[in-house]
Amino acid sequence: MSELWVCHLGTLEYRQALELQERLRAARQADAIPDVLLTLEHYPVYTRGRRSAPGELPMGEEWYLMQGFEIVDTDRGGKVTYHGPGQLVGYPIVRVEDVVAYVRTLERALIAALAQEGIAARARPEDGPDFTGVWVADRKIASIGVHVARGVTTHGFAVNVENDLQPFSWIVPCGLEDVRMTSLIRETGRGAGAIRCFRRRAAFQVAEALGRRQRLVSLARLEAAARALQPQ
């Protein structure tokens, strides 16, 4: 069984994580490293995907910046969303052949991880691309948006675990006017610290869904592999 290198990065600025993903994708494209899953949290940021449209930030960009939120345009699929502390973000840097099948695989992995927490979650592929992600009844608990270049992915998923949900109310999350967001602790009543346990569950289920054997690695190991590709 091929390996999935799993690296937990703590809390990172969004742009810093973008730059790391691009370097690791180049390393994966060159077969310098196996498939990788980065797990992390972000400082508060709104990100817009390729399908974002005017009006998804109804307060106006200046208002969000004054509240301390960075706004970043990205090449991932999907529309606007929020990342912040207490939300588990996963960036798989993996080879794929079928992007739609890959997105469905991520949904199944997250549903399985949430089931281990006692949460009955589901995907909604029949409702169209705007409903990509994972839902608990009509409440959204996880978002998915990916980008593929030369057969290797970046971006990935974000699961609301113990993060503040208020910032979602200041945007049109995922382009859905009436969407209600939820989180693991809201659904289960668990307290702070839930993210550490769920991070392990999610990483294991993603590895299982991809048919990979999980191996924990350090950021230094990943950085060394990426540096090996740079011209001397």
Per residue of the chain (232 residues), what is the pLDDT tens digit? 699 999 999 999 999 999 999 999 999 999 999 999 999 999 999 998 887 777 888 999 899 999 999 999 998 988 889 999 999 999 999 999 999 999 999 999 999 999 999 999 999 999 998 899 999 999 999 999 999 999 999 999 999 999 999 999 998 887 777 889 999 999 999 878 899 999 999 999 999 999 999 999 999 988 888 787 665 4
Rounded to 5 degrees, φ, ψ at 204 are -65, -45
Q: What is the pTM of this model?
A: 0.94
Residues ≥6 apart with Cβ < 8 Å to 195: 41, 86, 88, 161, 162
Give 40-101 as a DSSP string: EEESSEEEE-TT--TTSSTT-HHHHHHTT-EEEE-SSSS--EEE-TTEEEEEEE-B-S-HHH
Domains along the chain? Answer: 3-227 (3.30.930.10)
List the catalytic residues.
174
